[in-house]
Structure formats: structure tokens, C-alpha cells
Structure 1
Amino acid sequence: MRIVHCFRSPVGGIFRHVRDLSLRQEAMGHQVGIVCDSTTGTAFENEALERLGSQISLGLDRLPMQRHISPRDLFSAFATHKRFMTMKPDVIHGHGAKGGVFSRVFGTWPNRGRRPLRFYSPHGGSLHYDETTRTGKIFALLERQFSRICDGICFVSDYERQTFLRKAGEPHCATRLIYNGLSEEEFEPVPLDKDAADFLFIGMMRDLKGPDLFIDAFASLPTSDDGRRPTAVMVGDGPDRQALEFQVRELGLADVLQFHDPMPIRQAMRMARHVVQPSRAEAMPYTVLEALAAGRTMIATRVGGIPEILGLNSIALMTPHAPSIADRMAALLANPNRFAAAMPDRRFMADTFSIETMANAITQFYQDRKSVRFGDS
């Protein structure tokens, strides 16, 4: 099949997901292309995108895509449709809110060839909005209506699926629950640097990921009995980084909390003993999967699909509030062996969250819906 993946921002978990899926589908003998935004991404992501574009048959096209609804969407829309038609896909798979709209609208748009199959993976996206607000209600209505012009929705966690059902109702298309996956190499332990800090935050520096909560919680941690202050590193970039650096300086933490630009997570994990995921909302975060696969002890907020990874009653779970995060951070420092013993079995992790399982399940979903629409041709 000729498969085109469309998403807006080439950063974070969505980019990781699309990259892994695209490369695996190429290895399976399919021809894959990507269309994504050209205005976001650091040098780290841009280099990765350039490398990815040379590894997929249909290439990688970038054009401006606005995060929020804007008049400039008209330009993006026509440009995206033109890219799709040039690639002549059998399948258009949209990821995230904007990619999901483009894949379903332009997959349904009249064209001279056979209409492609239209798939959608929310990855949280519009499902993060509070359904009691006007914006949340509008997005829920759009999700419900767009499911009428969709061949299949892939949910990355049961939480995401249940959230869709609660906010948008039963979709008018087929759905599958397919977890994100890691490569076999990512289950190799990551060694620690000699001067490793106590805690690591890695991710987008934006409100949704809770970096401000991490800083506030860290600031309230007591010194040890021997007078040693806890230490931390924060790795990533984003719209809030400058404000977060100011927050750290104002709290007098600059000597014990260091910022670093984006880097591969396995490189970042060398710098700290424990990983903290303080997100306010998630779907199925790769950071949690990658940290556990690498043998790190971690704590994370009870949001999205995280309890499906750590376990519903895990002592590593907390609420997305600074006092709760600080409590878990302090408990982890006091008794790291107890938390290490509570981490999920790595054999279970390898069996449940693998790239091969993920890519095979998604591609089989395409094949199943193709058979339903076109027969076995």
C-alpha cells in the first residue's frame, strides 16, 4: 500500500510514533510518505526529520500548519491536499487534531482516483479539552461528526478510548486499541553518569507537560540529614522554557537544577537516577515507556494511559499538583528500593509495548478496512 501520515508538530510523542510506524511499514514492503508542519521543531527534530525523509519511499513534505484554527489554515489546507494528491495514497493516516482533520477531509474530497482509506489517531489532542467548556463541546461535536468520514480510529490507550466515548459518543467507524511500542534495543539498561542528578524531567516545556509543577515540587524538597540538597535536570524546549528558567532563578534553584536542550532520551537518562513525569494530561506517553524499558525508577501523574503502564494502584502514581508530586519525590529519595520493586516487569513491558506489535496491528487494521470497503482486491 501507499501510506501517507499527516500530523502537525514534529516534536514529542507524535513524531516518535509516526517515525517508528513509518520505518516499520517501509520494512514491511509498503511505500510511506509524511506531511507535517514546517514552523515547529528544534535543530534536533529538524535533523531527525531530514534523516527520516531519506528513509521513506514517498518522501517527507513540510508546510506551515497552525496549531489553532486560523484563516491561514486555508493555505495549509490547499497545500496539504496538493501534497496528498501528488503522493496518490491508498491510506491517509492523520495523527493529532490537525492531522486528523486533514486526513479525513482530504481523504473524502472528490478526486480522480479511488478514494483513499482514512484513519485517525487522536494522541490526546482535542480530547484534552474540558467537555463542560464551550471549546470542549465544539471539539467533541467535531470529533463525533468527523468519525462519519473515517474508516478507522486507532486509540493508544484505553483511557483515550473511554474519553472519546464519554465526550464524543460512539464513533461512526471501526476502532482499535493499539499501544505505542519500543524497539528491542530500548530495553537495554542505560548506565548512570558519575555525577548523575537525583531527578530528570524530559519533554516539551509547555503547560500540559507540567514542568512548572516539577519545579515547584522540587523547590519544596528538604535537604538530607547530611545537608545535601536534591539535584535535578530538565531536558527539552518549548514556548514556556524562558519563563521556567526565570522561575528556577526566582526560587534560588539555579545551582541545583540545570536546563539542557533536547537530546535523545537515553542520553538524557544517563544524567539522573529517577525520572519524573508531572503531566497535567497525556494519552500514552513514550517517556514513561522509555524510562521503564531502560531500567529507570520513575514516578508519574495519574493521567491518560499512565496507570495502564505502571498499574492502577502503583505507589509511583500521583496527582498533577505540586504537593502530591513533592510527596512522591521525597518518598522516592527516602526509599528508592521500594519504588524500584514497584516498577512493572520488564518482560511484560517488552511483550506489550513493542514497535513490531504496534506497526503490525495498525497495518492489519488498514488491511481489514480495505477488505470491508473494496473486498479482497
Structure 2
Amino acid sequence: MRAPVGGLFRHVADLTRELTARGHSVGLVVDSLANDAQTESRLSDLLPHAALGIHRFAMPRLLGRGDLTTPFAVRRLARALDIDVMHGHGAKGGFYARLARLAGSKAAALYTPHGGVLHFSTSSVSGRIFHRLERALMAQTGAIIFESAYAQTIYSALIGAPTCPTEVIHNGLAPEEFVPVTALPDAADFAFVGELRELKGIHVLIDALVGLSLPDTRPATLVMAGDGAARAELEARISKLNLSQRVTLLGAQPARPTFAKGRIAVVPSLAESLPYVVLEAAAARLPVIATRVGGIPEIFGPTANSLVPAGDVAALRAAMQAALDQPAQAEAEMETRLRHIEQNFSLSVMADGIEALYQTVLGRA
């Protein structure tokens, strides 16, 4: 993987710990170009679970010198450690795992896009190069794992139907993440957790809050955990709409403690793949209001009819008001969604699927 941030790293970290617990030897290959204190802290936490070590090579975000040298370094590492499986995560991780095999590694190469190459436009030069590379490396790919059926569909539309085996294996949560979170006495009505940028629908959310009130006519309140480039613009919008007494910006905070500060989770994203925050909020026993984007309908399962169109202020406001007006109905929907997630989005189910696919690919090699 290129960088230990976001949902991609969360997935890799969970998989590393679970495979190690099952008796496998795991190592990590990460970028040496974009290190900071947070990166090193996260990798240090994983080191006890990485018996094969953590290895750093140059992985430029777009195109760079590392693209010519790192595949050969990965090939040498795979040979020295007698690796059976190389699993590339994200666009660059996927390229290096398969290029290493093209360069002479005998290890099976699997690939999970995590969005990655799917986010590159066909109208950009880098997008066309990456999409062409994807097609060229298909013959070196033992299997592609998609974290959602949505990602599988988008991949086929952009790259073409894969000629290698593919499987949808959803991200999963650990058992402790299904422990209910109890709302604090002074909890706000709604909670948002995510990066403060336009793509997360933050301005749609703020606009939707206008006019929302509880049955006792008290104006609805919102806490927002996260930071990002759009924070100043968001603060200006909150002030302009006279919402400063109703919206609390917490800065970057972990998800579970934030869920205790709000009674209903809102995920108003304009685009997503398979967001962990939806899984985490639902597992914590919060009602969730979300948009119909990416793999979110797969998470909502039998409750997907309640999803709202992305970017639609009126629809989001109506869904939020309904949750305030009909708490028993919101609670019942949460219970239905929870059962679906418990059955299909656990860490053990995720690891079972990936481990079985490794064995299948090795059996074909």
C-alpha cells in the first residue's frame, strides 16, 4: 500500500492482525516518500503483527522514479522472504504487486482497488495511463477483490470486464465495534464524522439543518467531527445561516466517542466507495441517515429504500426531520440494518473470504 491513511489502511491493518492471529506470516510494503508522525505511529502499532517486517520503498502518488525501481525491489523482497502471496492495496500497491510478478516474482498477486484507480478520470493523462496499465497487468493478476459490488461495476465500466477471477468481499468490523454506544445526556440530535470537504456533503448537511426542530419545537443540533480544507468555508456558512449555537465543530476525533455525542448519524456524502463510518455508526446502534452513493446501499441492505439522493437538501432535511418525529420507526430500522451488518460485515467473514481466495489462487498457480 502507498500510505497508511483512511479506509484502505484500516482494512489492511484489520486484515494483518486477523491473518496473523490465524497463524500466517504477514509483512507490509509501504511508501517511503510521505512519512509523518501519525504514519509512523500507525505502523509501529502494526509491527508486532508483521512477522515479515515493514519495508519502505518509494511510491510516488502519481508517476515518478519509484515506479521504475520499486517493482524490482518488491520482487527481490518477495524472493528473500519466500512469499506465497502479494496483495496489492490501492492503485499503486496493486501495480507494484503485479509488476513485481512481471519482473520475475513467483508469488501469486492479488489486488484490491479501494477506489484508487477508479477515481482517475478517463479525460486526464494520468487516468488514461493508469487504466491502460490495469488492462496490461490483468494477465499477472491472480484475482481482484472488490470491497463492494459498486466498485466491481465501476471497474468494469472504466477498465473493461476483468479476465481474471474476481470476488466481492466486504469490509468488516471487529466484535468490539458492535458494542452499543450510549448517548451522553447532553448529546446533540445529529452527528457527522468525516473529512471537512465538499465531497462529503458538508454544505448540504448544514443547509438541511435549517428549519429542523424536535416535536417540542426546540431547534435541532449537530456535532461534526473532522477537519479539512473546507473548514473555514464551512464556518462561514454556519455563521451566515445563524447556526453557530446549533452546530459544534469538534475537530478531528475518533468515530466511536463522537457517536456518544450525537443521537442520529448523518452521512451526506456526494460520492463514496464503502465507507467505514456507516458500518461503525450502525454497529454502535445509531440510526443512520445516508445518501444513495457507492456501496452504501449494500451496507443498508433491507433498509436501502430509506437512502436519500446525494446533494438534495430538501430530501436530506425531510429524512432528518422524520427521524426526529418518529424515533420508534428510526430505531426499528436501525435494528433491521444491524442484523444485516452483523451477518455480512464482520471481520471474521471478511478474513474468511480473503483467506479462502488466497488458497484458491495458490491452488491454481
The TM-score bracket by the shorter chain reads: 0.7 to 0.9
Name the CA distance, whole Å, in 2 between partners of 1:237 and 1:87: 40
Name the CA distance, whole Å, in 2 between partners of 1:141 and 1:149: 14
Match of 1:105 in 2: 99
The residue correspondences of 1:22-61 to structure 2 (distance < 5 A) are 22-37=16-31, 46-61=40-55
The residue correspondences of 1:144-159 to structure 2 (distance < 5 A) are 144-159=135-150
Q: For structure 1, which segment, 293-302 or 323-332, has the greater mean C-alpha deviation from structure 2 after superposition? A: 323-332
1:86: how far off? 5.6
Indicate conservation of the 8 Å contact 2:78/2:107, yes or no.
no
* Structure 1 residue 229 corresponds to structure 2 residue 219: yes
In the alignment, which of 83, 86, 89 is matched to residue 92 of structure 1? Answer: 86
Q: For structure 1, which segment, 247-256 or 30-39, has the greater mean C-alpha deviation from structure 2 after superposition? A: 247-256
Name the CA distance, whole Å, in 2 between partners of 1:217 and 1:133: 34
In the alignment, which of 333, 355, 365 is matched to residue 363 of structure 1? Answer: 355
Q: Residue by residue, what CA displacement relative to the aligned partner does 1:1-37 show, whole Å, maximum 9, x if unpaired? A: xxxxxx2232221111111111111011111111234
1:272: how far off? 0.7
Match of 2:8 in 1: 14
User: Which TM-score applies when normalising by structure 1?
Assistant: 0.84
Distance 1:257 1:132, change over 3 A: same
- Structure 1: 5+ residue stretches without partners: 1-6
Q: Name the amino acid aligned to 1:59.
A: G
Name the CA distance, whole Å, in 2 between partners of 1:39 and 1:241: 27
1:91: how far off? 1.4
What SS is found at the alignment partner of 2:260?
helix
In the alignment, which of 152, 173, 186 is matched to residue 161 of structure 1? Answer: 152
Q: Residue by residue, what CA displacement relative to the aligned partner does 1:96-120 show, whole Å, maximum 9, x if unpaired? A: 112211221123223xxx5111111
In the alignment, which of 284, 296, 316 is matched to residue 294 of structure 1? Answer: 284
Q: Residue by residue, what CA displacement relative to the aligned partner does 1:113-162 show, whole Å, maximum 9, x if unpaired? A: x5111111112222244557776555443333222221110011112212
* Structure 1 residue 281 corresponds to structure 2 residue 271: yes
What SS is found at the alignment partner of 2:259?
helix
- The share of aligned pairs that are identical, in percent, is 39
Name the CA distance, whole Å, in 2 between partners of 1:123 and 1:151: 17
What RMSD in Å do the two structures reach over aligned CA positions? 2.9
- Structure 2: 5+ residue stretches without partners: none
Match of 1:262 in 2: 252
Match of 1:171 in 2: 162
Name the CA distance, whole Å, in 2 between partners of 1:249 and 1:78: 54
Name the CA distance, whole Å, in 2 between partners of 1:67 and 1:208: 20
Name the CA distance, whole Å, in 1 between partners of 2:319 and 2:339: 26
Name the CA distance, whole Å, in 2 between partners of 1:83 and 1:240: 41
The residue correspondences of 1:202-241 to structure 2 (distance < 5 A) are 202-218=193-209, 220-224=210-214, 228-241=218-231
User: Which TM-score applies when normalising by structure 2?
Assistant: 0.87
Indicate conservation of the 8 Å contact 2:301/2:340, yes or no.
no
Distance 1:54 1:205, change over 3 A: farther
What SS is found at the alignment partner of 2:41?
helix
Name the CA distance, whole Å, in 2 between partners of 1:269 and 1:191: 8
Name the CA distance, whole Å, in 2 between partners of 1:147 and 1:291: 36
Q: Name the amino acid aligned to 1:295.
A: R
Name the CA distance, whole Å, in 2 between partners of 1:53 and 1:349: 30
Match of 1:189 in 2: 180
Indicate conservation of the 8 Å contact 1:33/1:87, yes or no.
no
Indicate conservation of the 8 Å contact 2:32/2:56, yes or no.
yes
Q: Name the amino acid aligned to 2:193.
A: I
What SS is found at the alignment partner of 2:243?
coil
Distance 1:25 1:129, change over 3 A: same
Tell me the matched-pair count: 363
